[in-house]
Structure 1
């Protein structure tokens, strides 16, 4: 009688023991599989976050260095002169393999001619004005022309969304096409296809064609000038803004969107070779990616711990059961060895018995793993999300102050960014796809094989090292 046949007969005869092993093994594999599929889901979500988080690196004039130069200069003049970014240089930098796309930004102010700008008032304006403010206000227009390469990035966030018509693309570079805000369009009875007129600082009247309408969700700052209201921002091409300003091939800033947020540092190192770091600076904004990465890494780490803790605990439990099982079968082992059966065949018999149990346990684990994994992932996501949100709230509360944030955005902009990050985080976590695939099953089966192999070796080593006679008299 070969060891395989003996193994099947033993499983059939010892139904109670076989069912016990099946239940224990199924429970172990169920939790191992849950950990594996949650871990895989977290890895997949991290990969998706890398592609969708749009981490950016922005090339702008080095303001810090410019201020240092003023302080070092013996001249009494305090005028801050900032160099413009060359679009030609930006195109060279954008050829990097790290860059997915880039957006040129340029802006200027103009005055509304054929329509009325949105007026913003605030009680803070009723006080006495600072010297020179009235002149500055009158010289700057009530409309902001924001020049971009494409509106795909600026009009796809929670702060602004396209609601009618189309956005601007690179094909609009040498046109007078614009995208205006919904409230501005409503107040002036404008629609897609309408034409509007503005007057630049040289009193030259320019005609613009409305090709799209967007809705801004942010509110106006309490500063007071007309162009500070987001409704007074009109998007056009960066080249058209250059035309209004009387410049060529220049930009205020260029934003590079990364293929992989983790490679931002490598990109900056590469880009610095093409610019003068004393005149220009490169700043990274991967806050959305980091806000997604933290909870996902927490989920991934916890799932990894589940897999290893359950595997180790399961191996120990199964080893104890096998030891007890073999102790009951010492006589059988002694007789088989006395009859000349090889020791490896005896071990193979036990392995075959456990292997059959493993197959059925894997089937049970696969059936129930999806449900258990989905429940566990929701609990983990809930805990990780609430912890990260609390941390972000505390950090935001500590960092808030009266000064404007980088880029001149008021404090509300930081709150908006935090809201975007939190919203993106919750969206990514809620979309954590937990599913059982072939690779997960194969990985589970591999863990199962390792568990039963270690358990059998641990259970048989003390008995099989003895001679048959000693085994029989134990």
Structure 2
């Protein structure tokens, strides 16, 4: 059977080419669809992380609270990362703030509240919503990291006005609650310069302007403020996936915390909006996969039916020399399998291209979240290989079903009836 199949495939080049093209298209589409379906969970988790979804703990009076009170929260295993934020004001020494048109004029400001900047102290700025949303962008240098000590990020306009550059020092006098009311100067090294403008709320202070906002590393801010108990205004909690976030939320709510004083909220709006689009595209991919399988069977069956009619003489000869029907049908199956082998390489390349284009177009159309390029690619070679093997297995099933359907006229008729048709 194999020898006869090989001879037929090599001699009937045009027919083999047509079948090759059909099988390549079917296998490519199957592989790309299965690839997207199987990686949808990884894609969902990646979208979840990049959407900056988080749990946010704050006081209802917008005041600060001791970081030690959140230790039990940090011990919850579903929490993958905790980010502290402390907001205060400071007066830059030997530097001038950027002036702008205020919508609120105040004549009652004391000298200590003139020429001040707003300060956000945090253990990292990489997941700060002002940066992840694109409101602020790092122009020079880098983000604040958890290991930083005495580091600061400043706005490019503030840097320009005061002739400041990376690695220069900025001295600040904090206006927050300093123990023993000793407001002393503290020096910070510039590691990053950012640009952008946030939505501003005007109170008549120079700190209202985006240009007069600075970011400090958290630990140094607490040393500068002499806060031995370490205070925060906001605690942001991150999990690796939506399931862990839900578990973390329930566990935190079960802790012995006076919830009449605190708020715990889920900030998942961006992820949920993106997930709706992902679910829709997953539904479309499921329909496409089923449609491709049905279309593959129908098209192959129709083509094989036409060709088998032309091969009735060959079938009759094989029957007359002792070949049974199973061997003849087996030869037809071997013919298609032999043609499908060269289509493997082309289908692998085309399938990866199609899946990357589908995912890429989905990500490009969703501007609500910043997505890394790696999402459009499969993360593991082994997973891709297993998916391709499964796709090829489905193709083999399509080949067998198609051959059986197209060979019904052989299977249901007796050899004598088939031979009589030859004459």
- TM-score of the superposition, structure 2-length normalised? 0.78
Find the counterpart in structure 2 of residue 227 from structure 1.
207
Q: Which among 223, 236, 259 is matched to residue 216 of structure 2?
A: 236
Change (3 A) 1:348 1:308: same
Q: Which among 197, 208, 229 is matched to residue 218 of structure 1?
A: 197
SS of the counterpart of 1:259? coil
Contact 1:42 1:432 in 2 (8 A): no
- Root-mean-square deviation (CA, aligned residues, Å) is 3.9
- CA–CA separation in structure 1 for the residues paired with 2:201 and 2:69: 37
Q: Which among 182, 186, 193 is matched to residue 208 of structure 1?
A: 186
Structure 1 residue 193 displacement after superposition: 4.8
Find the counterpart in structure 2 of residue 306 from structure 1.
288
1:454 equivalent to 2:383? Answer no
Q: Which among 106, 128, 152 is matched to residue 86 of structure 2?
A: 106
Structure 1 residue 106 displacement after superposition: 1.7
Matches within 5 A, 1:86-125: 86-112=66-92, 114-122=94-102, 124-125=103-104
- CA–CA separation in structure 1 for the residues paired with 2:232 and 2:195: 24
Contact 1:120 1:220 in 2 (8 A): no
Structure 1 residue 264 displacement after superposition: 2.0
Q: Which among 260, 269, 277 is matched to residue 278 of structure 1?
A: 260
SS of the counterpart of 1:109? strand
Is there any run of 5+ residues in structure 1 with no aligned partner, and where? 64-80, 127-132, 390-420
Find the counterpart in structure 2 of residue 464 from structure 1.
411
Matches within 5 A, 1:225-264: 225-238=205-218, 240-241=221-222, 244=225, 248-261=229-242, 263-264=244-245
Change (3 A) 1:209 1:153: farther
- CA–CA separation in structure 1 for the residues paired with 2:17 and 2:217: 73
Is there any run of 5+ residues in structure 2 with no aligned partner, and where? none
Find the counterpart in structure 2 of residue 153 from structure 1.
127
SS of the counterpart of 1:205? coil
SS of the counterpart of 1:125? coil
Find the counterpart in structure 1 of residue 376 from structure 2.
432
1:143 equivalent to 2:122? Answer no
Contact 1:83 1:279 in 2 (8 A): no
Change (3 A) 1:246 1:221: same
Contact 1:160 1:216 in 2 (8 A): yes
Contact 2:301 2:406 in 1 (8 A): yes
SS of the counterpart of 2:2? helix
Matches within 5 A, 1:14-413: 14-36=12-34, 45-61=43-59, 63=60, 81=61, 84-112=64-92, 114-122=94-102, 124-125=103-104, 142-154=116-128, 157=132, 158=134, 159-161=136-138, 163-164=140-141, 167=144, 169-170=146-147, 172=149, 178-190=152-164, 192-198=167-173, 200=175, 204-212=182-190, 213-219=192-198, 221=200, 223=202, 224-238=204-218, 240-241=221-222, 244=225, 248-261=229-242, 263-274=244-255, 275-290=257-272, 292-330=274-312, 332-333=314-315, 336-337=318-319, 340-366=322-348, 369=351, 373=354, 378=357, 381-382=360-361, 385-386=364-365, 388=366
- CA–CA separation in structure 1 for the residues paired with 2:143 and 2:403: 68
Structure 1 residue 36 displacement after superposition: 4.8
State the number of aligned residues: 406
Structure 1 residue 147 displacement after superposition: 2.5
- CA–CA separation in structure 1 for the residues paired with 2:212 and 2:291: 59
* 1:98-137 Cα shifts (integer Å, max 9, x gaps): 3222111122234455443333323x336xxxxxx86688
- CA–CA separation in structure 1 for the residues paired with 2:314 and 2:272: 61
Structure 1 residue 282 displacement after superposition: 1.7
Structure 1 residue 87 displacement after superposition: 1.3
Structure 1 residue 59 displacement after superposition: 0.9
Change (3 A) 1:217 1:315: same
SS of the counterpart of 1:150? coil
Contact 1:104 1:251 in 2 (8 A): yes
* 1:371-421 Cα shifts (integer Å, max 9, x gaps): 6x27xx5477547744x55xxxxxxxxxxxxxxxxxxxxxxxxxxxxxxx3
- CA–CA separation in structure 1 for the residues paired with 2:139 and 2:266: 26
Which structure has the highest helix share of the two? 1
Change (3 A) 1:217 1:291: farther
- TM-score of the superposition, structure 1-length normalised? 0.70
SS of the counterpart of 2:342? helix
